Structure 1
Amino acid sequence: MTSVRANGVDLGIESYGLEGDPLILLAGGTTMLSWPEALCERLASAGRRVVRYDLRDSGASTTLDPENPAYDLRDLAADAVALVEALDAGTAHLGGIGVGGMVAQVAALDHPDVFSALTLVGTRPVAPGPVDEDLPDHDHAVMSAMFSRPRPDWTDRDAVAAFAAEGAESMGNDPEQARETAARIWDRTPSSDPAVHQANQLGMVFSRIDCTPRWRERLGELDLPTLVVHGRADPFFPVGNGAALAAEIPGSRLLVLDDMGTALRPTAADRIAAAMVAL
């Protein structure tokens, strides 16, 4: 792992594969650990250079004030563009999960010459806030239960990992995978500030950034191979969001994984890698 200066910020990255191979750039949601190592390794073994990275205010990337971010969604999209240039790649297949999937949509729409393909995982075609009437909203019972849970001491690594594991099943995720990922996110957080740890674990910074103007109405402009991956057990962005996204992007493919919630499972690495390489 290292960091790269792009668009005026330092972005934490991790690379797999050979530098001369076609680039697959994976935007974190919000940290790079949203993309399992198993998937990165499968893609690299298929002849791709894979770089996963942390969004601003997360992981090893520049962290200023996650509670008051001074940038917007299009700045995050511009980060992806600048990272492709900094990696001397010319173009890239751009993947985004959750928050990163929204970043990826805007990046491809605003910079169509930079991106050659899209993979959008567990995301939707509108930003946080009031959802369009035709899109299924968060499962309110699950969200109410999740957000009513007592918060851990964010400076206690074991407590944070246990908190993640205890809430995993309700999000359709594997508790042990959630525990391990939370501990690794905690280890990679370059701050002892509880607010920064909380932001890294919960991705709360994204709910505070400006996501206007809308981009859903422009999705028909996309003219690049696109894979939409969604978990049938996702209560945060229910699967209808992925179906709507795929329906609005010309020629896209929808891959629904029955045992997936909000998190990619390493056990699905082979299937997802094959679908991405086939784009």
Structure 2
Amino acid sequence: MVPDEEKVVRRGRVRLWTERFGHPGDPTVLLVMGTSTPGIGWPDELVEALVDSGRQVIRFDHRDTGRSDTVDFAAHPYALADLAADTVAVLDGHGVAAAHLVGTSLGAAIGQWLAVHQPARVRTLTAMASSPMGNNPGPAWARALTGQPAVADELPPPTARFLDHVRASATAPRTTPEQRVDADVRTWRVLNGDVLPFDEAAARRFVAHCHDRARDLTAAANHDLAGRRWSDDRRAPLSGITAATLVLHGSDDPLLPTAHGAALAALIPGARLEIVPGMGHHPFFAPGLTERIAGAIIGHTS
């Protein structure tokens, strides 16, 4: 899909690659991708459906992904608040005062942060495959990886299959371009869940395209480091969110089981929780789910 405008916007020393689709006078939907994934993770079919429904759509590459700048994390560490500030810079760069913000995984945490701390910029919030931004999953992960039982009232860790994949992935060969693509496709397959079909050919094309356009493939790992940086701004109560909120969550999410989506919806006043049968953590390689997600976003942003 050909964008109506491709633009690089700047926040401080970081340049962010963005693209805009649709008529500038239409309501804006800002798509915010998840951890270590560039903006093209939002498929063209989704963008086209939103534009055809009368919305302007903006998607962008986070810092350390795609065509945006990479950062020396040791010298210039950043956190969720910085990624949220990048997102505001994208809106400012396109002259958008407020947008319907649609985020998945990390992108949904960014959406929560903005809805709490900069509510004037968020017309509505759609949070997909996410958890409350103040939930620190580290202790639950550590217990699960060492075979310890979960703690009462703790949001559940990833599934055993996902944790097995994490262990295997740590030693998987990534010497050649083919090995790097294979390793990433295996991750997307696990994130798809075990219920719905997985379009491996589409995933392989996507991964190869991401690798071709990345400035530095290793830089995306900085998102995990940023995710481990905790501060009081992440612990701000979600009860202060006033934007109408839709929480979309898969019934077969292997990374964030459905309890995470339910907990998020329970903390935001008036939020609506929609559990999508069979959906994993990333829906766009399961045939038919892109259309369903587009329909949910169109309905919510109406």
TM bracket, shorter-chain basis: 0.7 to 0.9
Which position in structure 1 is the counterpart of 2:29?
24
**1:276 counterpart = 2:289:** no
Cα distance, 1:39 vs structure 2: 1.0
Structure-1 residue corresponding to 2:3: none
Q: Do 2:70 and 2:219's aligned partners in 1 also have CA atoms closer than 8 Å?
A: no
Cα shift at 1:140: 4.0
Do structure 1's residue 241 and structure 2's residue 266 form an aligned pair?
A: no
Deviations 1:117-150 (A, max 9, x none): 1111111112552359431222244213333233
Cα separation, 2, equivalents of 1:248 and 1:47: 31
Moved more, 145-154 or 220-229: 145-154
What is the alpha-carbon distance in structure 2 between the residues aligned to residue 270 and residue 100 of structure 1? Answer: 20
Contact residue 108 and residue 222 of structure 1 kept, 8 A? yes
What CA deviation, in whole Å up to 9, does each residue of 1:179-233 have, x standing for no partner? 2221111011124xxxxx1443xxx322212232263551111011111111222
Equivalent residue for 1:257, pick from 260, 266, 276: 276
Instruction: Name the residue aligned to 2:210.
Output: 185
- Match for 2:114: what amino acid? A
Task: Say if 2:154 is the partner of 1:134.
Answer: yes
Structure 2, unaligned stretches of length 5 or more? Answer: 1-5, 141-150
Counterpart position of 1:208: 225
SS of 1:62's equivalent? coil
| Cα 1:68/1:161, change in 2 over 3 Å | farther
Amino acid at match of 1:123: S
- Other structure's SS at 2:92 match: helix
Alignment CA distance shift 1:66-1:233 (3 Å): farther
Rg larger in structure: 2
Amino acid at match of 1:39: L
Q: How many residues align?
A: 270
| Alignment pair present for 1:98 and 2:115 | no
Q: 1:66 and 1:274 mapped to 2: Cα distance?
A: 38
Higher mean alpha-carbon deviation, 108-117 vs 252-261, is at 252-261
Tell me what 2:168 maps to. Answer: 148
Tell me how far 1:51 sits from its aligned partner: 0.7
C-alpha spacing 1:144/1:68, structure 2 compared with 1 (3 Å): farther
Alpha-carbon RMSD: 2.3
Query: CA contact under 8 A between 1:34 and 1:263: conserved in structure 2?
Result: no
For residue 55 of structure 1, give the secondary structure of its aligned residue in structure 2: coil
Whichever residue aligns with residue 96 of structure 2, its letter is A
Which residue of the partner structure matches residue 126 of structure 2? 119
Letter of the structure 2 residue corresponding to residue 15 of structure 1: R
Q: CA deviation at 1:67?
A: 6.4
Letter of the 1:220 partner, please give it. Answer: S
Unaligned runs of 5+ in 1: 192-196
Tell me by how many angstroms 1:52 deviates.
0.9
CA distance in 2, matches of 1:151, 1:96: 30
Once residues 94 and 102 of structure 2 are traced to their aligned partners in structure 1, the CA distance between those partners, rounded to angstroms, is 16
Structure 1 position 45, deviation (Å)? 0.7
Q: Counterpart of 2:232 in 1: which secondary structure?
A: coil
How far apart are 1:66 and its partner, in Å? 5.1
Q: Give the drift of 1:46.
A: 0.6
Judge conservation of contact 2:137–2:157 (CA < 8 Å) in 1. Answer: no
Q: Which one of the candidate residues 64, 81, 96 is aligned to 1:74?
A: 81
Q: Report the TM-score, using the length of structure 2 for normalisation.
A: 0.81
Quote the sequence identity (%): 33
Give 1:42's match in structure 2, choosing from 49, 56, 59.
Answer: 49
4+ residue segments displaced more than 4 Å: 66-69
Deviation at 1:54?
1.4
